[in-house]
Chains A and B, each alone.
Chain A
């Protein structure tokens, strides 16, 4: 007998084909809208056409009178049950249905529950709302201006439109560093409002059973246990009587973490009607009202020494949160992990000031593969680095090398106080430069310039914190951000694993089994993985911010080890030796002095039910809750080359090279899939994805004709490379990866276009770098901002 072959059994490192595909390729996925319950009714939402207005009256009489309409909910009916407002995940409140005012275009004003969705929509149109328009605010400058209308006049003690002021870092030290600088490089940027826009919109089916008093809600959520807690809080139902089921989710990207008014309304409707109520939003509802991403302004400065060393960093960030502060993010950090910026560079001083404001736009800010605003941090970082290198007249790669934290400098305290534990940043950059053919491209660029062609190359390097997070520092609404795994080994050696995570395409059903295979030698195909049902899954904080492999994945490893520890005792009993003489190799325990004598893990499993050692509890099941000791620190280098058409401003990607280190890769195929998805979103944000507002607060970008997602035709090809630095504290050496490319990618594209425009005097064009903006920059030699309101006057 020998150890089993790890790759053959689908252990770590195997590009195991996905288990979940079996149903998806047959069209047998089980998404929320696929679920049908007996007696189910359908809910549609009436949304406000105005961005800021007082509600004078709502007349729903015609809607009530329509055949097939069962219930109409307005803010008034919600208020009577104390449900017109609900707490958000950021200690603010959010309107479920508007009562006094509407505060963004698209805000939920009323709900109709009817026999079918068409009737529900018909009835919504029959509701007459009398609005008194108020002046709308579409950017923070307007929010903070003297005499600006007060958006949150519903809040006691809210005298203006400021949500928070927050700072971190060493102000005095940073000021000194700037005083000593040879050169200060400044840049102002707007990271525009974007939206995760998974292809499946949000939705829920609330099913309150009067006989059992149990509420079951099927919904599109990345964090079912958080929803259960929120529902218990908001609906004031006992927590054990609430079951949240997150079935198959058609993409999350952070869009499906917040608690949306539609969910709450459908729950109330079900309780009142004692029938299941289904609400599936349409794309407009999704884009105009659900958790958007970014919309943040930066003034950044780097204090530089002539030899290229960065002495200090100053960042002033203003975050536009829309009408309600509703982000899911660690409560201690108002601006998320923005202060993870510059973690890969050895810089002694940094200071960040952040302010959050209300505007008349949909609520949100933290979403879309952002790792809690790390997308913003790394975008700002690499744009600042690019500008600084140019200001110094230094080569982009060389400037980064001069400032990187060195391989032997760990653990390293970053300028804002994070602790990084490992990295090979220079090597990562070198792999990227070699792959793109850096020196050759620079020559090619020079030659092309002589013929009037504009080529550019953009580099983005970073390390980012993934895997929130340790209980000392991380919590959402006070709940610590651990995660969990429960493993049951059946008597025939097959297993059932459940975790507190919730895959929306990341492949957990496939990869978690690979970890079990790695730890126990059980073939991955013998391990069934389930997630998403709060009645059966152990408590977890869900899947977002690339936290699952670092936290839930670690829990899977830990619970497997607990199982193995018990199995070892069983093995000793079966082999009739003492435990000290038992050795383990993948899949079997054996006698140290007689390696041929051993028992398989499957035999131990059977014995746990049929032949236990004296005094041992029978069975072979366990659960592990994992509180990560630290975040993991994947790092990356993204390099993009482009050509810009000076006549039209259109730019094309020539090549895209990505070098990623995410530690040990459980399933290389899936890891690469995550990277490619992230790179696509990076490209989309840099090139075309845009939500903006006009002077009246109208949202431009609330459907796919205005909010552009790239197709297979525009999306560039990807060249992927890897560096592997195992995470020193993670049980299997793995790090998060899902978001890295979306975090580090956008700057590479923008840097490339700006590089093509080098020498024209233009230092910044806000994303999306639309052709008209590039053209405008070339014509004027000046930076181009993309901040709302959208320009409507002739230039």
Chain B
């Protein structure tokens, strides 16, 4: 931003030297905590995510490119509030929150309430986010992230994050986050709600996909028409959920 002269702050505080913020871990209660300096690359290589948090594990390799992933952070991405940001959709689908620290102490902000608009957050001017928290799954966590990028590092034409908690085949909680199809990340709540309380049937998936597409507010631009992007939302949602059916059968 500074290099491109979009921003010329008088003072810039570099937090990279703060030690012990680079963690990511699972707490005893099953919640996943990602420190402010945990890099995309750490999450990409994380054995923990691979087994515990498939939505995050699917998204990590698709953020930017491998070199940028050595510096960029999940928390930073959330605070940057780019509607093209991948992590926001993921965390929204997980019903995640961030912990912001200011002069008056700490407060927890759900990611869904963090973003006000493109590149604008609800953080106070003297607040810094120190951690992101994905709540413990209500059962077994499943999910994934699909993104149409025309080359590595491209912004998403469309990205869909799907996260589903299950006990057996019953879905106890679901979340769907959409990247690149609106002024900010979209939480397709109605679509996700359709999945809760039953198993992943073809009907439920079809309805969820359709509602997710409706929740999208894409713009026609050089990446494609609005209707194409809506269609991709539906396709990706369907593919992700279908992929979970197969996995479940294998596990059963």
Q: Do A and B touch, yes or no (CB under 8 Å, in the complex)?
A: yes
* Residues in A lying within 8 Å of B, measured CB to CB: 121, 125, 647-650, 687-688, 690, 692, 700-701, 705-706, 708-711, 713-714, 770-772, 775-776, 790-795
A794 proximity list for chain B (CB < 8 A): 220, 225-227
Complex Cα–Cα for A335 and B235 (A): 45
What are 17 A-B pairs with beta-carbon distances under 8 A?
A121-B5, A647-B235, A648-B232, A649-B228, A687-B150, A688-B150, A690-B222, A701-B222, A710-B151, A770-B223, A771-B148, A772-B157, A772-B223, A775-B224, A775-B231, A793-B220, A795-B225
B226 proximity list for chain A (CB < 8 A): 794-795
Query: Whose C-beta in chain A lies nearest to the C-beta of B227?
Result: A795
B231 near A708 (CB under 8 angstroms)?
A: no
Kindly state whether residue B221 has any CB partner on chain A within 8 Å. yes
Across the interface, A713 reaches (CB within 8 A) one of B151, B157, B223, B227, namely B151
B153 proximity list for chain A (CB < 8 A): 711
B157 proximity list for chain A (CB < 8 A): 771-772
Q: Name B204-238 residues within 8 Å CB distance of A.
A: 220-228, 231-232, 235
Complex Cα–Cα for A426 and B158 (A): 45
Query: Whose C-beta in chain B lies nearest to the C-beta of A712?
Result: B152
B248 proximity list for chain A (CB < 8 A): none
Complex Cα–Cα for A71 and B221 (A): 41
B87 proximity list for chain A (CB < 8 A): none
Kindly state whether residue B155 has any CB partner on chain A within 8 Å. yes
B222 near A775 (CB under 8 angstroms)?
A: no
| Most chain B C-beta atoms within 10 Å of own C-beta, residue among A649, A708, A772, A791 | A772
B152 near A776 (CB under 8 angstroms)?
A: no
Across the interface, A770 reaches (CB within 8 A) one of B155, B224, B232, namely B224
B222 proximity list for chain A (CB < 8 A): 690, 692, 700-701, 706, 790
Complex Cα–Cα for A695 and B65 (A): 32
Across the interface, A708 reaches (CB within 8 A) one of B150, B227, B232, namely B150
Complex Cα–Cα for A754 and B200 (A): 37
Complex Cα–Cα for A713 and B150 (A): 11
Complex Cα–Cα for A649 and B225 (A): 13
Complex Cα–Cα for A770 and B232 (A): 14
A770 near B225 (CB under 8 angstroms)?
A: no
Q: 1/0 per residue B129-155: CB within 8 Å of A?
A: 000000000000000000010111111
Complex Cα–Cα for A242 and B232 (A): 59
A280 CB to closest chain B CB (Å) equals 15
B152 proximity list for chain A (CB < 8 A): 711, 713-714
Across the interface, A790 reaches (CB within 8 A) one of B155, B221, B227, B232, namely B221
Query: Whose C-beta in chain B lies nearest to the C-beta of A124?
Result: B5
How many residue pairs between the two chains, A and B, have CB atoms under 8 Å in the bound complex?
Answer: 65
Across the interface, B150 reaches (CB within 8 A) one of A125, A647, A770, A791, namely A770
B151 near A714 (CB under 8 angstroms)?
A: yes
Complex Cα–Cα for A711 and B152 (A): 7
Complex Cα–Cα for A135 and B62 (A): 41
Complex Cα–Cα for A790 and B220 (A): 9
A775 proximity list for chain B (CB < 8 A): 224, 228, 231
Complex Cα–Cα for A647 and B232 (A): 8
B225 proximity list for chain A (CB < 8 A): 772, 776, 791, 794-795
Complex Cα–Cα for A710 and B65 (A): 12
B227 proximity list for chain A (CB < 8 A): 794-795
Known: A688-B150, A710-B151, A795-B225. 11 other contacts (CB 8 A): A648-B235, A687-B150, A688-B151, A690-B222, A705-B155, A708-B150, A771-B224, A775-B224, A790-B221, A792-B221, A795-B228
Complex Cα–Cα for A713 and B157 (A): 18
Q: Name B82-108 residues within 8 Å CB distance of A.
A: none
A762 CB to closest chain B CB (Å) equals 16
A770 proximity list for chain B (CB < 8 A): 150, 223-224
B228 proximity list for chain A (CB < 8 A): 649, 772, 775-776, 795
Query: Whose C-beta in chain B lies nearest to the C-beta of A771?
Result: B148
Complex Cα–Cα for A776 and B235 (A): 15
Complex Cα–Cα for A795 and B150 (A): 21
A687 proximity list for chain B (CB < 8 A): 150
Complex Cα–Cα for A714 and B222 (A): 20
Complex Cα–Cα for A464 and B176 (A): 53
Complex Cα–Cα for A315 and B52 (A): 61
A554 CB to closest chain B CB (Å) equals 40
A708 near B151 (CB under 8 angstroms)?
A: yes
B65 near A711 (CB under 8 angstroms)?
A: yes
A653 CB to closest chain B CB (Å) equals 13
Q: 1/0 per residue B150-192: CB within 8 Å of A?
A: 1111110100000000000000000000000000000000000
Complex Cα–Cα for A331 and B90 (A): 58
Complex Cα–Cα for A121 and B4 (A): 11
Complex Cα–Cα for A293 and B237 (A): 39
Query: Whose C-beta in chain A lies nearest to the C-beta of B238?
Result: A647
Complex Cα–Cα for A534 and B44 (A): 52
B240 CB to closest chain A CB (Å) equals 13
B5 near A795 (CB under 8 angstroms)?
A: no
A772 proximity list for chain B (CB < 8 A): 157, 223-225, 228
B220 proximity list for chain A (CB < 8 A): 791-795
Query: Whose C-beta in chain A lies nearest to the C-beta of B155?
Result: A705
| Most chain A C-beta atoms within 10 Å of own C-beta, residue among B157, B222, B226, B227 | B222
A711 near B221 (CB under 8 angstroms)?
A: no
A700 proximity list for chain B (CB < 8 A): 222
Complex Cα–Cα for A690 and B224 (A): 13
B155 proximity list for chain A (CB < 8 A): 705
B5 proximity list for chain A (CB < 8 A): 121, 125
Complex Cα–Cα for A795 and B224 (A): 10
Query: Whose C-beta in chain A lies nearest to the C-beta of B234?
Result: A647
A286 CB to closest chain B CB (Å) equals 15
B221 proximity list for chain A (CB < 8 A): 790, 792
B212 CB to closest chain A CB (Å) equals 15
Complex Cα–Cα for A771 and B149 (A): 10
A708 proximity list for chain B (CB < 8 A): 150-151, 154
Query: Whose C-beta in chain A lies nearest to the C-beta of B235?
Result: A647
B231 proximity list for chain A (CB < 8 A): 775
Q: Name B56-100 residues within 8 Å CB distance of A.
A: 65
Query: Whose C-beta in chain B lies nearest to the C-beta of A772?
Result: B224
B151 proximity list for chain A (CB < 8 A): 688, 708-711, 713-714
Query: Whose C-beta in chain B lies nearest to the C-beta of A788?
Result: B222
A362 CB to closest chain B CB (Å) equals 17
Query: Whose C-beta in chain B lies nearest to the C-beta of A649?
Result: B228
Across the interface, A650 reaches (CB within 8 A) one of B65, B148, B223, namely B148
B65 proximity list for chain A (CB < 8 A): 711
